[in-house]
Amino acid sequence: MGKQALEINADTFQFFTRNPRGGKAKDIDPEDVKRFLELAEKNSFAKLVAHAPYTLNPCSGTEKVRNFAFTAMEDDMRRMEYIPGNYYNFHPGSHVGQGTEKGIELIADLLNRIITPDQSTIILLETMSGKGSEIGGRFEELREIIDRVEISDKLGVCMDTCHVSDAGYDIINDLDGVLDEFDRVIGLEKLYALHINDSLNPAGSHKDRHARIGEGHLGMETIVNVINHPKLKGLPCILETPNELDGYAREIEMLRSEYTA
Ligand code: FE
Ligand code: FE
Ligand code: ZN
């Protein structure tokens, strides 16, 4: 994946730790890891972002699903140490009718069982669109999770532009205001990474359907404002737009040309 990233002029990438729809992870090949670390070093890669499987739901009403969340995340944390010091992003989960408070409690419980003081990985809660019973559509919910986690210096947030807009935060007309609110509620020092996506739906739609950059309701201008915002400078930006590799190459080229260093 490192070589592919270089081919499209990226200096970071996001990868799934295992099949996004579930299951077992491939065994790690230490030689492969070594080659990657050398390549990343040589090409000054930024922090990488691992993404937990979508089926991981720490606040499910079903014990079996919660147990999978624990086993998968514990295994992922062990595997992440092969590439020390990077980020591991996950969807906080859906409380499926148990209520937001119960959901937050279950998510914090899981994190308290997972996080160890000596891990080098920072775990990131993704800002969500708030569809269905999703937790994380409001900054306050993420704050509450962080507050309940004991070793909270290993915990941060990844902001997804499609999700925050779908959740009702007006990054189109008032990016400054949204970032001020983020800072007030969570603290910008907790923001470690960005998911750069346009949205197929208008702000507040609670839908979570990503669009290609410039082809959705956010539009090119909003995305360019995000990547150039002084408070967001230096954060790894991950594209999760509906594209193949050539499409990502074009988006990276376009965004790099709009980026003012
Ligand atoms: Fe995600
Ligand atoms: Fe995302
Ligand atoms: Zn999404």
Q: Which ligand is nearest to the CA of 199?
A: 3
Compute the average pLDDT of residues 84-96.
98
> Structure tokens of 192?
């470690």
Ligand 3 centroid distance, CA of 195 (Å): 9
Ligand 2 centroid distance, CA of 28 (Å): 25
Q: Which ligand is nearest to the CA of 52?
A: 1
State how far the Cα of 235 lies from the Cα of 228, in Å rounded to an integer.
Answer: 11
To the nearest whole percent, how much of the chain has pLDDT over 70? 100
Quote the pLDDT of residue 21.
84
Give the confidence band of 166 by pLDDT, cuts at 50, 70, 90: very high
Ion ligand 2 residue ranges (Cβ < 5 Å): 160, 195, 240
User: pLDDT tens for residues 28-39?
Assistant: 999 999 999 999
Ligand 3 centroid distance, CA of 42 (Å): 32
User: pLDDT tens for residues 37-75?
Assistant: 999 999 999 999 999 999 999 999 999 999 999 999 999
State how far the Cα of 212 lies from the Cα of 239, in Å rounded to an integer.
Answer: 9
Tokens 């990016």, residue located: 175
Give the single-character DSSP code of 121.
Answer: P
Q: Which ligand is nearest to the CA of 163?
A: 3
- Angstrom CA distances, 74 to 26, 56, 104, 174, 176, stand at 15, 12, 19, 39, 37
Give the single-character DSSP code of 60.
Answer: -
